[in-house]
Amino acid sequence: MARHILKNMVVMLGADALDGVRSMEIEETVGDTDLTAAGDTWQDHATGIPGWTASLAMLLDHEAAANQTLRAGDVITFEGYSEGDSAGKTYWSGSASVLSHKLGGSYDGEGTRDYSLKGKGALSSAAVV
């Protein structure tokens, strides 16, 4: 099985790469409805409509122009490249709402920004050409 680390990770906001990204998580979800009835010997269910969420953690960088415009309530075009953006690498993309934006840090650490995104429509997966 091929494995990779995310040191070459790239996250795009529209046409701009976000600076200082520390982590990225993408999760696809689907709801389910219980169809189990009295007398059944096993549980049964039906799946609903799929959706997706993403979270980003970044270093706080006031000089990075692309990082300054991302705020809660924005609707963005998101692209996440876990292995970098060179030809043949897989990436995920879709339209998403920014649900939360958090600033943080400690007196002896680095400043950070955390974002929570919720997909608006399908999450696509493709290879960079």
> What confidence tens digit (pLDDT) does each residue in 13-70 have?
878 888 888 888 999 999 999 999 999 999 999 999 999 999 999 888 777 766 667 8
**Does 3 have pLDDT greater than 70?**
no
pLDDT for residue 4: 58
Distance CA 51, CA 35 (A): 21
**Does 5 have pLDDT greater than 70?**
no
As a 3-state breakdown, the chain gives helix, strand, coil percent values, each rounded to 5, of 5, 55, 40
CB 59 within 8 A of CB 110: yes
Cα separation of the two ends of the chain: 23
DSSP 39: T
Fold of 6-27+49-127: Elongation Factor Tu (Ef-tu); domain 3 (2.40.30)
The model's pTM is 0.81
Alpha helices in the chain, H assignment, sequence order: 65-68
Residues 6+ away with beta carbon under 8 Å from 76: 13, 14, 70, 95, 96, 97, 98, 117
pLDDT for residue 67: 65
Distance CA 33, CA 84 (A): 38
CB 61 within 8 A of CB 108: no
pLDDT band at 11; cut points 50, 70, 90? confident
